[in-house]
Each structure stands twice: as structure tokens, then as C-alpha cells.
Amino acid sequence: MKKEIRIFFTAMMFLTRLPVPKFTDHSQEYLEKSARYFPLIGWIVAAISGLTFLVFNKYVSEDIAILASIIAGILTTGAFHEDGFADVCDAFGGGWTKEKILAIMKDSRLGTYGVTGLISILSAKFLLLKELPKFTPALDEPSINIFYNYRHFLLILVAAHAVSRLMGVLTICLFEYVTDPDGSKSKPVTSNKPSAVTILMAIAFAVLPLVFLSWHFALAIIPVMIIVYRLAKYFKKWIGGYTGDCLGAIQQVSELSFYLFALIIWRYAL
């Protein structure tokens, strides 16, 4: 149990800016096993974003609440995934060879493709999240319990963050890591393939939030997996596999895709 707790806090240290106990370090042994808790860390990020939404929605407005929730998630992770997404946009938008693409991804400067990509994905996320709070089935009269009123929205938020981080774990399982691992922050996680226990635990944490929703929403995972697989194949075509930045892009794209298909399911299948 103590070992699992340390692995969990290692995952939290790797994916967020949240404080962790002093015994948490960058041990390669624990970092390699920490992928099992990536979807669980998604729960935490979603919980912080969701709580921020509820507070601002109560005292200000829904639009500002959605914006505040997005900012809260970015601050919680230190823009970890957004940074990877922007680097991927710059690299694959401006590079035409493997060497050029990898060189651009290592460049800390943000280019036109990266700025455009960030604006696009954050705008799309805002618009999709603006629609989802309206999803309140069988709620004829609002309760004084605000968590109950927005329970479906909050569960979709948790599921999206959890499933999107599971997609990164599955990418690590199915594809090869590229570039010089000594210069990459993702080396400890990607140097070895996740074990069966790690994969099963990650899947369990990702799927659990969906248990409390209509079974239809579980179908959103299918198109998300297809999109992620095609994206990973695109990375493989150009650079032979994935990098840490590619995993960040996969998280952002799959989170956004989950919101989109959850919205479609709500509108047309329920």
C-alpha cells in the first residue's frame, strides 16, 4: 500500500503542479509505474475545474464560470498538455522531415502554428463546455444541492479528463518512443512498456466515471480511440513514433473529442 501511494504521488508530481509529500521523487522505478494512475490524476484535475465552475457559476455567470474552469485546469497541470499540443502544431506544421520536426518540438519558442492551435482548441473547448451544463435530464425543479444539479456535467468532465489520459497510456503501449530519451522529460515513463497491471488499472480508473452515467456515453470512447489511433499513426508516419509532446497533443485532442461526442450522444441518442 505504501508503495502504491508513492507511485500515485509520483504520477501527481509528473502531471500536475499540485504539492506532493517530500518522499516523492523522480525515481525511474516509480515513474514507470505511475501511468496506472494517470486517469485518476484526471479525476483530480476535473474536480478542481468542476468546483471552480460551480463557484463562479453561482456568483458570476456561466460563461465566466466555464472560462475560469478551463484556466483552473491549466494552472493545475502547469499547461503541461497544452504546451505539448502547441509544440506538435508548430513541429508538424512547419517541419517536412523527421529531423526538422523533432528540432522544432525541442525549441521552447512558440510559433504561428502553435498559437493558432492553442486558440483553436481552447475556443472549441469553451464552446463545447458551454453546451454541456444544460444536460440535466429529469431535473424538473433544481435542488438546493448544486452538485446534484450539475452531476451529469461534472461526471462528463471527470470522464473526459480520465479517458483522455488513458489514451496516452494506450499510445505508449502500442507505439514506439522516438528522439533522444536523455533530453526528454517523458523518458522515465516511456522507456519501458506499461505492465498488464498498469494498463488494467488505468482502464478501470478511466471507465469508472461512466458507470454513473447512461451507458450511451461509454460509446464516446470508440470514436475517441479511432481519432487517437489515427493521430498516433500520423506521428509514426512522419517521425517513426511519438514524443512526450505528442502525448500532450493526444490528451488535448481526446479530451476535446470526448466532449464533442458526449454532446452528440446527449442531443441525438437520449
pLDDT digits (tens, 9 = 90+) for 21-36: 988 887 888 888 999 9
At 28 the pLDDT is 81
Is pLDDT at 195 greater than 80 in this prediction? yes
User: Hey, what's the cell of 181?
Assistant: 530519451
At 257 the pLDDT is 97
Is pLDDT at 185 greater than 60 in this prediction? no
At 137 the pLDDT is 62
Is pLDDT at 186 greater than 80 in this prediction? no
100 phi and psi, to 5 degrees?
A: -70, -40
Which ranges of 60-150 does DSSP label H, i.e. alpha helix?
Answer: 62-77, 80-94, 98-106, 112-131, 146-149
Domain boundaries, the chain: 54-268
94: nearest Cα among 102, 234, 249, 230: 102
Q: How far is CA 159 from the centre of its chain?
A: 10
The string of DSSP codes covering 169-180 is HHHHHHS-B-S-
Compare 110 and 180 and report the one with higher pLDDT.
Answer: 110
pLDDT digits (tens, 9 = 90+) for 49-91: 999 999 999 999 999 999 999 999 999 999 999 999 999 999 9
Number of other CB atoms surrounding residue 143 within 10 Å: 10
Q: Cα torsion at 120, 126, 130, 136 (round to 10°)?
A: 110
At 32 the pLDDT is 85
E strands present in 183-222: none
pLDDT digits (tens, 9 = 90+) for 10-21: 999 999 999 999
Rounded Cα gap, residues 234 and 177, in angstroms: 14
Task: Measure Cα distances from 115 to 86, 89, 119, 120, 122 in Å.
Answer: 7, 8, 6, 9, 11
At 99 the pLDDT is 92
Is pLDDT at 262 greater than 60 in this prediction? yes
pTM as predicted: 0.93
Name 242's bridge partners. 177
Task: Measure Cα distances from 14 to 70, 71, 164 in Å.
Answer: 20, 19, 16
At 139 the pLDDT is 60
pLDDT digits (tens, 9 = 90+) for 121-145: 999 999 999 998 877 665 666 677 8
Q: With bands split at pLDDT 50, 70 and 90, how would you rate the model's confidence at 188?
A: low
Mean pLDDT of 228-257: 96
pLDDT digits (tens, 9 = 90+) for 150-183: 989 999 999 999 999 999 999 999 999 997 655 5
